[in-house]
Amino acid sequence: MSYRYWKRSSRCRIGGDRTRPSLSIGIGQVARFLVLVLAAGMLAGNCPVVEAQDSEPNLESLEERAFKEAAALVAPSVVRIETVGGLDRVGNVLTGTAATTGVIVSSDGEIITSSFNFVSDPASILVTLMDGRRFPARIVSNDRSKMLTLLKVEANGLRPAIAARTSSFRVGQWSIAMGRTYDFKTPNVSVGIVSALHRIWGKAVQTDAKVSPVNYGGPLVDIHGRVIGVLVPLSPDKDDETAGVEWYDSGIGFAIPLQDVYETLDRLRTGEDLHPGLLGITFRVASRYSGQPTIDRVRYNSPAGDAGLQSDDILKELDGKPVSRLAQARQILGTKYAGESVKVSVQRGEETVGAEVTLVAKLEPYEPAFLGVLPARFPDDDPQSPPGVRLRYVFDQGPAAEAGLSADDRIVKFNGDDVEDETSLLDMVGRLRPGDSAIVDFQRNDEPMQANLTLAEVPEEILGRLKTSPIPSAGTAEDQDEPQPTGRITDKLAGFEQSYWAYVPDDYNPRYEYGLMVWVHPGGDTLEGTIYKSFREVCDSRGIILVAPKAQKVNGWTAEEGEFVRSLVEVFESRYNIDANRVFLHGFASGAQFSYQLAFKYRELFRGVVGIAAPPLVRPPENLPQFRLQILMMCGDKDNLFPLVERTTAGLRSMKFPVSFVRIPGHGHQYPGAEQVEQIGIWADQLDRI
């Protein structure tokens, strides 16, 4: 679109208003003024202060005028979006009811906007044009990578926005964020600069103009009235639909280049959602910015697996561009959609292997394999313990039992590799899938033996009984530098308003690794007495420490209190000898819902969750080998929520989480009795199963 066109359209807007003829001054003239003023500055040479000539407009007022004109030029392409019906809350984010914004991308009614504007899943969407005409809109498709949504209204003769070329973007150039949310006649504006290019793994331009729900979906405009991009909330580390909203109005805002949107428009038009392209590999690096990108795992049935990529391959090139850090790989893959392909080159030993890989939208969920053993628990520093894993228990009918292994055998090799300890055995088994076969070398009474077996799925049933693991006596107190308190404790955590209570077995032995149960009370009742009475004996016999944070307001947890729970767990892990594989959450009713939320959020911390009488409210994350999570759900069959809880079990299982479900016959919506508490104890006592 030429400058001439712009000038004309600018006149069109103002033509009828004779009181303001001077406004029809063109952008070109303003730009010329700017050049003049700047030139004057340069000519002044040594004199740093340039006095504005009294008879000339100053730079600030010219800029201001240019902003207003740029906004006015884009205004006809900026529409107001309103929604009707829908959810109040998505995750921790309250969804808005206010109007949002979109940008016209075709004359026949296509509008691109931020997917955030529809997180509430509204029943109906309405679009209002600048001239006040209103249309019902339908969602055509979504770009799940760049978090955009394409809408369609039945209208013609609309003015699509003009995209600024991505090659013209410069850090430091003016940028104007626009929305049409306060008023349908006049867009709202915020002025800033372009802060950075290629942000969020190459997807977005960053601006310091104020970006928030009042302009998500609106355009970021340059001083010439061309659209740099479409404003969206984004976060470099999270990819859910509300990610990045917490940065609203902070001076960190993002826009997806409109040129990139136009390039994908044909694909969006087909009605198929675009998804980020996945390769199916994870890397073995300390951080994205250090260490060679060495492949750790290749997912089963993934594009990388099909292309023959293997563990320990070192990524060298993507699409012909050298890659030496994981962050570079993400930058190149960040803009790729599922269905697109990428040339991968890896170093395997001395040779270089290349492959062309077609990315996919969805990977087959990770499914943990099961050997069917419980490792024996040793005090950390037992000098008697040779390498390998001594078995505490072998699961009946599990792969190990079928192959003839029994308790007290010591596994020393798995598929020919030495087994150092239970962590390395878990890792080796976790790299295979149910149905894969394996060879296990083990020792029975110092006699070497070997077994061939086929790995199974993690069983759903809870063992009827499980012998407790002996806890050696605490020994003399002089072993302990600083004895930690035992018994029932009530305290506060430094830096938090909330308090907590805890129970540490009286005969706590710091040389034994304890499980940690985090009790998350339901809203309105801490159930402190019930839980203490029910679990004291279980904690003593099965080596579990109980810690129970209290919500600041007893009537319920707020999402922010997750940080308190996290800190509390970390403090207990530093004070006591805790087995990281046996840290789990336990909650009832709304406490169960918060437990699931915590388990899904702090994945590095929790290995299990026991939820009673409530299903998870938030969508579970993808099951990942590095964040093992086992789930126990219980519900009385007289509880109104029973069918819902039962259904959720199936959903979690389809995501390949190991889920045990206990139906409590004749029980309503109350905390269950001793029988179920015993089951929780057994389940918790085998969280370290392999």
Partner 1 sequence: MRSGHHDFVDEFRPTSRACWIVAISILFWLPVRGEAQSSSDAINDVLPRVVKIYGAGGLRNLEAYGTGFLVSPEGHIATVWSHVLDNFAVTVVLNDGRRFEASVLGFEPQLDLAVLKLDEENLELPYFDVNNSITAGPGSFVLGFSNMFNVAAGDEPVSVIHGVIAAKTELITRRGTYESPYDGEVYIVDAATNNSGAAGGVLTTRDGQLLGMIGKELRNAGSNTWVNYAVPIQELGHAIEQIISGQFDNEPTEDPATSEDSLQVSPLNFGLVLIPDVINRTPAYIEAVLPKSPAARAGIQPDDLVLFVNDELVDSCRSFRQELSRLELGDELRLVLRRGEQLITVELPIEQQANVP
Is residue 544 classed as helix, strand or coil in its secondary structure? strand
Using CB under 8 A as the binding rule, whether residue 482 contacts partner 1 is answered as no
Strand partners, 411: 389, 442
Minimum distance, C-beta of residue 110 to partner 1, in the bound complex (Å): 15
Strand partners, 438: 453
Candidates 2, 20, 47, 446: give the one binding partner 1 (CB under 8 A): 20
The 3-state secondary structure of 35-91 reads HHHHHHHHHCCCCCCCCCCCCCCCHHHHHHHHHHHHHHHHHHHEEEEEEECCCCEEC
Using CB under 8 A as the binding rule, whether residue 209 contacts partner 1 is answered as yes
Binding mask 84-103 for partner 1 (x = CB under 8 A): xxxxx----xxxxxxx----
Q: Which is nearer to partner 1, 41 or 459 (CB)?
A: 41
Nearest to 305 by CA among 347, 351, 355, 352: 355
Q: Which is nearer to partner 1, 22 or 167 (CB)?
A: 22
Q: Which is nearer to partner 1, 113 or 259 (CB)?
A: 113
Using CB under 8 A as the binding rule, whether residue 23 contacts partner 1 is answered as yes
Using CB under 8 A as the binding rule, whether residue 83 contacts partner 1 is answered as yes
Candidates 9, 24, 58, 341: give the one binding partner 1 (CB under 8 A): 58
Minimum distance, C-beta of residue 70 to partner 1, in the bound complex (Å): 9
Binding mask 571-600 for partner 1 (x = CB under 8 A): ------------------------------
The 3-state secondary structure of 351-385 reads EEEEEEEECECCCCCCCCEECCEEECCCCCCCCCC
The C-alpha angle 568, 569, 572, rounded to 5 degrees, equals 90
Using CB under 8 A as the binding rule, whether residue 246 contacts partner 1 is answered as no
Is residue 315 classed as helix, strand or coil in its secondary structure? strand
Minimum distance, C-beta of residue 94 to partner 1, in the bound complex (Å): 5
The C-alpha angle 361, 119, 256, rounded to 5 degrees, equals 60
Binding mask 258-287 for partner 1 (x = CB under 8 A): ------------------------------
Using CB under 8 A as the binding rule, whether residue 108 contacts partner 1 is answered as no
Using CB under 8 A as the binding rule, whether residue 302 contacts partner 1 is answered as no
Query: Between the CA atoms of 684, 686, 687 and 690, what dihedral angle is there, to the nearest 10 degrees?
Result: -170
Q: Which is nearer to partner 1, 134 or 413 (CB)?
A: 134
Minimum distance, C-beta of residue 54 to partner 1, in the bound complex (Å): 4
Candidates 126, 463, 493, 677: give the one binding partner 1 (CB under 8 A): 126
Using CB under 8 A as the binding rule, whether residue 16 contacts partner 1 is answered as no
Using CB under 8 A as the binding rule, whether residue 505 contacts partner 1 is answered as no
Minimum distance, C-beta of residue 419 to partner 1, in the bound complex (Å): 53
Using CB under 8 A as the binding rule, whether residue 249 contacts partner 1 is answered as yes
Candidates 107, 168, 186, 311: give the one binding partner 1 (CB under 8 A): 186
Using CB under 8 A as the binding rule, whether residue 44 contacts partner 1 is answered as no
Minimum distance, C-beta of residue 103 to partner 1, in the bound complex (Å): 17
Count the residues of the shown chain that bind partner 1, applying the rule CB under 8 A: 60
Using CB under 8 A as the binding rule, whether residue 191 contacts partner 1 is answered as yes
The 3-state secondary structure of 150-206 reads EEEECCCCCCCCCECCHHHCCCCCEEEEEECCCCCCCCEEEEEEEEEEEHHHHCEEE
Q: Which is nearer to partner 1, 153 or 662 (CB)?
A: 153
Q: What does the DSSP assignment read for 402-446?
A: HTT--TT-EEEEETTEE--SHHHHHHHHHTS-TT-EEEEEEEETT
Question: How far apart are the C-alpha atoms of 582 and 266, rounded to whole Å?
Answer: 51
Using CB under 8 A as the binding rule, whether residue 553 contacts partner 1 is answered as no
Question: How far apart are the C-alpha atoms of 329 and 279, rounded to whole Å?
Answer: 11
Question: How far apart are the C-alpha atoms of 67 and 80, rounded to whole Å?
Answer: 21
Using CB under 8 A as the binding rule, whether residue 135 contacts partner 1 is answered as yes
State the alpha helices, DSSP H only, in 482-561.
528-542
Side-chain half-sphere exposure of 264, counting CA atoms within 13 A: 28
Pick the stretch among 131-139, 269-277, 490-498, 634-642 that binds partner 1 (CB under 8 A). Answer: 131-139
Query: Between the CA atoms of 14, 15, 17 and 18, what dihedral angle is there, to the nearest 10 degrees?
Result: 130
Question: How far apart are the C-alpha atoms of 553 and 469, rounded to whole Å?
Answer: 38
Minimum distance, C-beta of residue 464 to partner 1, in the bound complex (Å): 43
Pick the stretch among 76-84, 252-260, 395-403, 463-471 that binds partner 1 (CB under 8 A). Answer: 76-84
Q: Helices 27-43 and 3-14: crossing angle, nearest 10°?
A: 110
Side-chain half-sphere exposure of 416, counting CA atoms within 13 A: 1
The 3-state secondary structure of 621-647 reads CCCECCECCEEEEEEECCCCCHHHHHH
Using CB under 8 A as the binding rule, whether residue 339 contacts partner 1 is answered as no
- φ/ψ of 246, rounded to 5, equals -65, -15
Minimum distance, C-beta of residue 206 to partner 1, in the bound complex (Å): 16
Query: How far is residue 168 from each of residues 171, 174, 191, 342, measured CA to CA in Å?
Result: 10, 12, 19, 27
Minimum distance, C-beta of residue 420 to partner 1, in the bound complex (Å): 51
Pick the stretch among 57-65, 164-172, 574-582, 641-649 that binds partner 1 (CB under 8 A). Answer: 57-65
Q: Which is nearer to partner 1, 189 or 598 (CB)?
A: 189
Using CB under 8 A as the binding rule, whether residue 22 contacts partner 1 is answered as yes
Using CB under 8 A as the binding rule, whether residue 11 contacts partner 1 is answered as no
Candidates 210, 521, 586, 628: give the one binding partner 1 (CB under 8 A): 210
Question: How far apart are the C-alpha atoms of 122 and 629, rounded to whole Å?
Answer: 33
- Interacting residue ranges for partner 1, rule: CB under 8 A: 19-20, 22-23, 52, 54-58, 60-61, 63-65, 67-68, 71, 82-88, 93-99, 120, 122-124, 126, 134-136, 138, 154, 176-177, 181-183, 186-191, 209-210, 212-214, 248-249
